[in-house]
Amino acid sequence: MKIDKVYQKELDNQDEVIYEFDNGNKIIMHSDDNVKKLNIDKWEEINFIPENFKEIQRELNLAEKKELKRFLTQRDQDSQKDNSIWSRIKSYGQSIFKRFKK
C-alpha cells in the first residue's frame, strides 16, 4: 500500500498524524501524551478524518515507515487468527482434557 495523504492535528502541542492510503484506509498515530492520558493504543485504524486535522505535504521518515509496517503486519496477523467463540471453547476444552490425560 502506498500513502496518499498525510494529515496533522492543527494544535502545535500535540503530535498526532493520520496517514491515508491510496486504497482509502486511514491510520492514526496518537501522541505519546494522549496514549498515556487516555490509555489507548499508539496506532489505530479510523474511518474518518476529524475536522481539526489538516493535510500537509511531506514525506514519511524511516521511523514512521517502520512503525506503520509493524502496525499493518500485526493487524493482518490478528485478523487471520480465529477468535470465534467456538474456537475459544474448543481450545479451552482441549486444555482441560490435556490436564486430565497426564
Q: Supply the pTM of this predicted model.
A: 0.71
Query: CB–CB of 27/18 below 8 Å?
Result: yes
Q: Rounded distance, CA 14 to CA 10, Å?
A: 8
What pLDDT band is residue 49 in, cutting at 50, 70 and 90? very high
Q: Rounded distance, CA 38 to CA 14, Å?
A: 14
* Range with the poorest average pLDDT among 5-9, 38-42, 51-55, 79-83: 79-83
Count of Cβ atoms closer than 10 Å to residue 68 Cβ: 18
Q: Rounded distance, CA 31 to CA 13, Å?
A: 10
Mean pLDDT of 16-44: 91
Q: Rounded distance, CA 18 to CA 41, Å?
A: 14
